[in-house]
Chains A and B, each alone.
Chain A
């Protein structure tokens, strides 16, 4: 059997995009990837000239790829980039990824603001998990979102860019379907529901995780490929495995899930429960009377005093 060839130039292929049947060599894959991310940003009108963009970075492949692509666009669009890193406090995992993020930001000349769970809640994620029976992902998701939004708002960012890829998006959609959580399902696809929430953009939302990883490897982005030690326990992991099994047999199903959700969104928007109010304790946006972050902090301090 002959070596698989690039559909564009005939050189040896390094990637088969199974959902379209196209094969790419390294050079044409990088070209395709960058063009598609730019197309996605245009299609959803993610960026406007002269904006200040907060970029959530972790040191992983998604966020560093995002930062790299945005930094190539910044001079032309007169964008001002500000990287924001949240150190959750995960022993044996986070220190190395933080160092990678610092080095890459400094290489690109992007200022970096570092915040930590410990500094803002009094506890690291490891300590939260020890105190509670809850899954680490519950704390991580709630506090990370909270700190990122507050930092982007204080820094005067017009948008907050995150490295969520197609797999992340599709997992979140299915998780909310499976839990019957219509409010979260709605919030996932709406960029601004409150003046206190900095509008979020996800430029990699149409790029499969495997393509992001391949781009990072081929472009020499110094990203970490380590898996979060808490990832194995989560509901998200079960949903991810299930979607990947489906995608292997039915290439393109991840895009079908995303497109189906986008078609449903206009119907969901008429759902009144999607509106956010202010948390009675901290004043941050909340779907209930008090926000999830305040409820979790209270729960943790009860556990700590026992």
Chain B
């Protein structure tokens, strides 16, 4: 299935297996779950949240650094 991922202003589409979770999408993108908070439909969700075909998640980077 395909899900959409919004990082900052950039939107990407990722192909993952049916019923994949947020964690699997992050893994496919090589993004460490320690470094992002994930929103699904405007609500913050855990990385265990199951996704569906066409789901759109937003990633908020938590690292301020410096």
Contacts and interface: CB of A to CB of B under 8 A. Distances in A.
Interface string B51-65: 000000000111111
A170 B33 CA distance: 18
A232 B63 CA distance: 11
**4 pairs of A and B residues whose beta carbons are closest in the complex:** A228-B66, A231-B65, A213-B62, A14-B44
Given A225-B64, A227-B64, A240-B63, A26 B44 contact: yes
Given A16-B48, A26-B44, A213-B60, 11 more contacts: A12-B45, A13-B45, A13-B46, A13-B48, A15-B44, A60-B64, A137-B66, A209-B63, A213-B37, A227-B65, A231-B66
Interface of B: 19, 21, 32-35, 37, 43-50, 60-66
Contact of B61 (A225, A240, A248): A225
A247 B34 contact: yes
Given A14-B43, A140-B66, A225-B62, A4 B48 contact: yes
A217 B61 CA distance: 12
A16 B45 CA distance: 9
Size category of the A interface is 35 or more
Contact of A214 (B35, B37, B43, B64): B37
B19, B33, B64 pick with most chain A CB within 10 angstroms? B64
